Structure 1
Amino acid sequence: MSMDRRTETRLSSMGRGFEIVRALGALSDRGDTATVQSISRELDRDRSQVSRTLSALLNLGFVVRDADLAYSLSWNWYATAQELTDQRLQTVGMTTLDALAADLGQACFLSVLQGDSTVTILESIPADSRMIGSWRGRAYPAFCSDAGRAVLWDATDHEIRAVFSATEFVSPGPNAPASVDDFIDRLRQDQERGYTIVDQEAEPGLYSVAAPVWDFRGEVIAAIQVVGEREALRARTPEYGASVRSAADALSQRLGAALR
């Protein structure tokens, strides 16, 4: 067999493998059992061909088979996808923040939830910003932080109450939520608007808008926020809100999210 022919065969086999992976995902999403027969029907493929490809995927550890001879994707796929997500959150996230900061002329951050706090993992601060020091790696109470409601965007009321079960709602900011119910009410208003507004909740004079970042699982894993002095940001809230939401959506798409 010639080199070109061997390459063509490998590519053809790879294509069949990815077809079956997609079929397994589709059947799983519908709650259907993924057997050789159901996968063959899903793809309109010969059963023997599907069976051979499944055997190869099984040997490689990409699929698993249960006692009922039904197949499912192995956790290797999810582990690989999660690793890629973490890498892109850092690399593409930084590029996204730099572009947003340059466009708006304001400090921009990417934060994640850790316990009942948010932690800044990336930041882009314009050279002429009056913001002093770095927030990277620093934690802040999520109930009043710039990213707090955005990182809990997809959480249920029960999940939010669990996050703040031991939290004292005390903050230097004059407008901070006074309770978990207050936090939830504000989050629901943010969701109707499409982005969060945090007005002097963390400290006096501080203002921010933020939007959630979604991953390939359809879960919020981070938030992008624009933070600055209240007098400078408040009058341009709709513009900044639209920009931060657009940036968060673009990053989400790079992480494999199907936007709603």
Structure 2
Amino acid sequence: MSANSSMGRGLEVLTAVSQRTRAGFGGGTVSDIAGDMGRDRSQVSRGLKTISAEEFLVKGPGSRTYRLHWQLYAEAQALTEQRLRTDGLTSLEKLVEETGEGCYLGVLSGDSTVTIGERVPPGNKVIGSWIGRPYPAYCSDAGQALLWDAPDDEVRAVFSRTSFTQHGPHTPLSVDDFLARLAAARERGYSIVDEEAEPGLYSIAAPVRDFRSEVVAALQIVGPKVRLEPRRAECAAALLRWAAWLEGALAAPSQPV
């Protein structure tokens, strides 16, 4: 399709509105979008009319702001969930190949984390599967990564009814304790859970964002502390690389491996 056709211009405008949405602006006026695109207002206005007629964009009564249609969000969210279970498994498999450790993909459910994907290397001594099993987010392998972008008051709300029970020698014992570890993880670039969930267990995790730039999952590497801690830097580099790859897969139609 030619970029000079009315639909071609409309799709370019739709992309610009999507980018504004991902950046947190929630849409934009003709002037906003024209400024972002470096285009003439009249061209952008025609593109907006074309793509709005196809119901990809909406504009409220009396509003000058164009936003993505709710159905587009719903379809994108459904695609995100599908991609987490397909491309998510690809990222886990590649991460296992590089690190030789058990690798997991988790999501947040209330004040717990739930594993939705897992891959372990041959000979791994993990007993049973973690798929679908909830675990307290304050001490789970994925908890810090899943709350990565949450402000302090939101984190406090998540744990407002949580009893901080000790599961390992280094379990956080309060929400303030958890927030301090979360702050350190953000500065580091990935989270470390060092014998918080159980004695001898060590893990690192990184957040994974979707097309809205919102954290929807955590990619994790889990193993015995005696083996994983000395290899932390090496494993963290692989973790961050595959978390970034998965984010790209969630935001794009396809992502080559």
Normalized against structure 2, the TM-score is what? 0.86
RMSD: 2.6
Distance 1:31 1:122, change over 3 A: closer
Paired residues of 2:102 and 2:119 also in contact (CA < 8 A): yes
Q: Among residues 214, 226, 229, which one is paired with 1:234 in the alignment?
A: 229
Deviations 1:217-237 (A, max 9, x none): 111111011111111111111
Paired residues of 1:65 and 1:71 also in contact (CA < 8 A): yes
Deviations 1:22-74 (A, max 9, x none): 34456776689624x77667522646x844x5444333222223333625132
* Rg (Cα) greater in structure: 1
SS of aligned partner of 1:129: coil
Q: Among residues 11, 31, 37, which one is paired with 1:18 in the alignment?
A: 11
**Residue 10 of structure 1: how far off its partner (Å):** 10
- 1:1-260 aligned at under 5 Å gives the runs 12-25=5-18, 34-35=29-30, 43-44=39-40, 46=42, 50-51=45-46, 53-68=47-62, 70-73=64-67, 74-256=69-251
Distance, in Å, in 2 between the alignment partners of 1:81 and 1:165 is: 31
Gaps of 5+ in 1: 1-7
**Residue 77 of structure 1: how far off its partner (Å):** 2.3
Deviations 1:160-218 (A, max 9, x none): 00000000000321110010000000111111111111111111111111111111211
Paired residues of 2:11 and 2:51 also in contact (CA < 8 A): no
Gaps of 5+ in 2: 253-257
Distance, in Å, in 2 between the alignment partners of 1:128 and 1:148 is: 27
Distance, in Å, in 2 between the alignment partners of 1:159 and 1:166 is: 13
Distance, in Å, in 1 between the alignment partners of 2:64 and 2:116 is: 41
How many residue pairs get aligned? The number is 247
Distance 1:203 1:13, change over 3 A: same
Q: Which runs of 4+ in 1 moved over 6 A?
A: 26-32
Paired residues of 2:17 and 2:27 also in contact (CA < 8 A): no
**Residue 147 of structure 1: how far off its partner (Å):** 0.6
Distance, in Å, in 2 between the alignment partners of 1:27 and 1:248 is: 23
Distance, in Å, in 2 between the alignment partners of 1:95 and 1:204 is: 30
Q: With CA pairs under 8 Å and 6+ residues apart, which has the higher RCO, 1 or 2?
A: 2
SS of aligned partner of 2:89: helix
Identity %: 48
